[in-house]
Structure 1
Amino acid sequence: MTKAGGAAKEEEEDEEELSSFTPKSPLNMPYIPDELNDPAAYPATHAAFKEAQAKYREKLNHRYRLFTLPHEPESSCLSNRRDLLLIRESANKAVLHAAKSVIRLSSSVDGKPLANCCGLWIKWDAECKTGIVLTTAQLICSNNSKHSNYTIANHWEEGADHYHIKANVIVHLLDDTTAEGHYLYHQEHYDLAFFEVRVDEPVDLPSFSSSVHSGLDVFRLARDVHMNLRITHGWVEDRNPGSNERHHSMYFSHQKTDYRPRKDFNNCVYHVKKEEYPCNEDGGSIIDLDGKVVGLFNKHPTESFVPSYILDKCLDLWLEFRCIPRLHLGMKFISIKLLDPIHAEKLWRMYKIEVGLIVEKVSAESHAEKLGICLGDIIERFNGESISTTVELEKMLLRRCRDHLDQGNHLNEQIDVSIQVFHTEERVRRNINLSVAVSDCGEVVKKRTYPITAIEATPASGQSSQNVADDPWLPRPKRTWESYLT
């Protein structure tokens, strides 16, 4: 078809659309002329006015219910915070671009609601008309202990979560339709889950940032139960994980408020409590000013998120091997880099060490414990590379797992890794080979415990020799190099 022919066809289609379009009558607000404004003198006029006014309001409300005129107009941080004025234009563009990949999911078991959260599209298959959604594994977690306001389970010690992989999962799409989510895989340690969804139209896939650093300007995106977008401005914070938290998390820091400012149709500001518009932001995205995803949000037990470079390695492993393995070292750590400078400076004065991970806990009966690694020792290098944060260590663990699978090996095998440890009490530095498990389960670091018997509890008997060596609170005898070889 020639250009002229194509233009003629478009004109014909436009004319056909115009001929089939019936313009609606304009909104016409009734009023009573001043000379007829006396209800007693002109009751029929006032009765007709009330009837006409009711019809006008009904027609007006019908128009206001359109998507172009929100039924409950509200303002986000991007329109009501003057301190964001300098970045408002670029932030608006980034948010609207990234929001296309953010959806909502809900789950139930035997007809009873289980959880709801957000998620991100990560893959689209045009041939099969299916997409894959990445979300938090809390969507199918039955005890959901992370979500308690009063007690927070320590998954390092308990590992007691139960996951309903046969739960009924509904994916709420952007066009206000829903689809069934089919379970593919979940990874407890990184709190990730994957679901396949039948969708006829292509979906928008997010782009992931390769760089995430403390202090970065970011926005958290989520959707409430009405699929309305929720936007929160904040900053990336890098700090040592709490005692209950996994090592791979970074944190979302922001100004907290109990109310959202809103405007009515007359532009008058009022406030609504957040609880009136429920929104579980878990599984939502953290984005930068370029609209790239820097992390997947998981607010419990604190406002933490899985950074994009960890997500990228997890997605790479799952897409190729359909699993996300991790090395279980049998230890928990805190970073020297993220300590208060007063404390960090003391460590340098005492040991001349500026970078490394301090051992916070060693799992009972682990190979690390058998090799003599103790609370307070410092891990300086992993497989020959220096380590400054726990997130860096997680990247190294995932990379080593990738190498393991690339070589044709499998899950649930034992491999050796090399670590350099500085024993702080003895001031001894050693390079040791640590035997660790390759697993996609959540790692549990067990406390070493021992029972107190009735005999030990009696004052006359004194301290029993049994279990004394196992008591972690008693001073340890001076160790020698030879003791590590036995």
Structure 2
Amino acid sequence: MPRRGRKRKRIVREADEGLVIEENASTRTHKINVGDPEATTAASASAAPEQASDGSSAVSSPVRRPYYKRAVIEVNSWGDETLEPLSNIDPAILDAYEEHEAKYNAKRRRHLKLITLELAPRFSCLGSPRSGSTRESMEETVLKTAKVVLGLSSYIDGNLLKRASGFLIDWDKESKTATVLTSALLIRTNSPSMDEWLAKDEFVPHAKVHVHLLDKNDTTVTAELVHYHRHYNFALFKIKMDLEAQIPSFNTEVQFDQEIFVLGRDVNRNLIVNRGGVVHKGPSGFERHHHMFIGCEVDECCLGGSVIDLDGQFLRMVTHPEMIMFISSAIILKCLHILKKHDYIPRLHTGMKFSAIKFLDPVVKEKLSRKCNIDAGLIVTEVSYGSVAEKVGIRIGDVVESWNGELISTTLELENFLLRKCEEHLDNGDGIDSNVETLVSLFLY
């Protein structure tokens, strides 16, 4: 039924083409109409009804954006139009336009809160048409793995310390207890030095950690710290939860230049997807020997997030998103294995830092091969004062070609070798602060 009301000599009525607001004057009329702007008069516009009670402000009602046309006074040679001044339009019409524009915008904001109409907070790498014919399979892989990727946050005395991501690596069906793997930086309070080898980072194991689940109610649970490791920069937490998703397996074979996805969660639990590759380079003198690198930008919230291959298997975990570093799953699995057997994870200290010949420029590698007959190995870049290495005469510039007869070509391979030696040492009944004999083959420069 038509509705009538009066305000500033206006008549508000409903017509077939929509709401019409017009000046109550016989000599001149401006209209605000709903409908095709091309089908209205030169001074027409559309608007939403004034009262919420008429149903137009409901989320399910039609969305009608107000508009009005102004008469074209002049068109220059470039095609630019000069419109009639706003002073020619009755103020009541302009007031009505602003009023209904506000209602329209409020309605659009309500619509955009619906999950089905919500705009993506960010565009993932899979949203690009350039994803190609493999997009569907890659999207399926990412969405399947995303079910076990969670957001975490840490607090000290109620104040936010850090936000990070993590992922489930185990779930006990009977106790409904899950294990979450993330970065130990989640509970780090201070990092006074860029040199990680100085081990000056400060951690707070008593920090309160929340894990933000992915259920319909957006449940948040408090996590219990199981273990954290300063050197390898990972932390394990236990939480209570139901789980319907399958936990993906680990792939310990990491290939340089391999294509990968980095998954994490932002503060609103939205999935973050970054796509890149494993960079063909080794760590610097300030970085741990087990670090590897990702060739793409990684969001800060992806700290502790999972790095997966195109089959959805876990390859590694992001340890430093700013420096785009990660730790391989081979190191993680070996650490978890030793932790389960012996309740702690020791490390062998060689007293040396290395860089791999493998990552040198080909020009330098060719010269090394030509002059020294060396094609692979680890170049000694630093020897600790008073270490066994210094005492036996190892110096900067020397090349370690093998360890216990095993050829080692990267610092990651060395870290895996040292972890194996640690496990063997513990299995033999030896403990922390004991010595391990290792035979190295050297090229003395």
TM, length-normalised to structure 2: 0.76
Q: Which residue of 1 aligns with 2:89?
A: none
Which one-letter code corresponds to 1:50 in the other structure?
E
Which one-letter code corresponds to 2:274 in the other structure?
T
Q: Which residue of 2 aligns with 1:5?
A: none
Indicate conservation of the 8 Å contact 1:296/1:307, yes or no: yes
Per-residue deviation at 1:296? Answer: 0.4
Per-residue deviation at 1:92? Answer: 0.4
Q: Which residue of 2 aligns with 1:165?
A: 205
Which one-letter code corresponds to 1:89 in the other structure?
E
Indicate conservation of the 8 Å contact 2:261/2:307, yes or no: yes
Indicate conservation of the 8 Å contact 1:124/1:202, yes or no: no
Per-residue deviation at 1:36? Answer: 7.1
Q: Which residue of 2 aligns with 1:218?
A: 260
Which digits, 9 at most, give the CA deviation of each residue in 1:85-137, with x for residues without a partner?
13312210111111112111111112222111111111112222211111111
Query: Structure 1 residues 64, 373: CA separation in 2 closer, same or farther (over 3 Å shift)?
Result: same
1:118 aligned to 2:159? Answer: no
Query: Structure 1 residues 382, 227: CA separation in 2 closer, same or farther (over 3 Å shift)?
Result: same
Query: Structure 1 residues 423, 301: CA separation in 2 closer, same or farther (over 3 Å shift)?
Result: farther
Distance 1:184 1:35 in 2: 64
Which digits, 9 at most, give the CA deviation of each residue in 1:193-244, with x for residues without a partner?
1111122445642311131111111111111100101111101113121121
Query: For residues 43-192 of structure 1, what are the structure 2 equivalents within 5 Å?
Result: 49-51=49-51, 52-55=55-58, 56=61, 64-72=112-120, 74-82=122-130, 84-145=131-192, 153-156=194-197, 158-175=198-215, 176-192=218-234
Indicate conservation of the 8 Å contact 1:184/1:194, yes or no: yes
Indicate conservation of the 8 Å contact 1:184/1:195, yes or no: yes
Which one-letter code corresponds to 1:86 in the other structure?
S
Indicate conservation of the 8 Å contact 1:104/1:171, yes or no: yes
Query: For residues 390-401 of structure 1, what are the structure 2 equivalents within 5 Å?
Result: 390-401=411-422
Q: Which residue of 1 aligns with 2:248?
A: 206
Q: Which residue of 2 aligns with 1:193?
A: 235
Indicate conservation of the 8 Å contact 1:332/1:359, yes or no: yes
In structure 1, list runs of 5 or more residues that go unmatched.
1-29, 146-151, 258-277, 425-486
Q: Which residue of 1 aligns with 2:426?
A: 405
Which of the pair has the greater relative contact order for Cα pairs under 8 Å at 6+ separation?
1
Distance 2:180 2:110 in 1: 35
Residue 253 of structure 1: which of 295, 312, 325 is its match?
295
Query: Structure 1 residues 332, 80: CA separation in 2 closer, same or farther (over 3 Å shift)?
Result: same
Which one-letter code corresponds to 2:339 in the other structure?
W
Indicate conservation of the 8 Å contact 1:131/1:203, yes or no: no
Per-residue deviation at 1:365? Answer: 0.7
Which one-letter code corresponds to 2:207 in the other structure?
A
Q: Which residue of 2 aligns with 1:433?
A: none
Which one-letter code corresponds to 1:97 in the other structure?
K
Which one-letter code corresponds to 1:54 in the other structure?
S
Which digits, 9 at most, give the CA deviation of each residue in 1:376-419, with x for residues without a partner?
00111111101111111111111111212222332332221111
Q: Which residue of 1 aligns with 2:438?
A: 417
Indicate conservation of the 8 Å contact 1:102/1:222, yes or no: yes
Q: Which residue of 1 aligns with 2:73?
A: none
Residue 20 of structure 2: which of 34, 37, 42 is its match?
37
Secondary structure at the residue paired with 1:289? Answer: coil
1:364 aligned to 2:411? Answer: no
Q: Give aligned pairs, total.
A: 365
Q: Which residue of 1 aligns with 2:409?
A: 388
Residue 394 of structure 2: which of 342, 354, 373 is its match?
373
Indicate conservation of the 8 Å contact 2:317/2:328, yes or no: yes
Distance 2:413 2:370 in 1: 25
Indicate conservation of the 8 Å contact 2:19/2:47, yes or no: no
Secondary structure at the residue paired with 1:196? Answer: strand
Tell which structure's C-alpha radius of gyration is larger: 2
Distance 2:283 2:381 in 1: 11
Percent identity reads: 39
Distance 1:48 1:367 in 2: 82
TM, length-normalised to structure 1: 0.70
Distance 1:117 1:73 in 2: 18
The 10-residue stretch of structure 1 (296-305 or 328-337) with the greater mean CA deviation from structure 2: 296-305
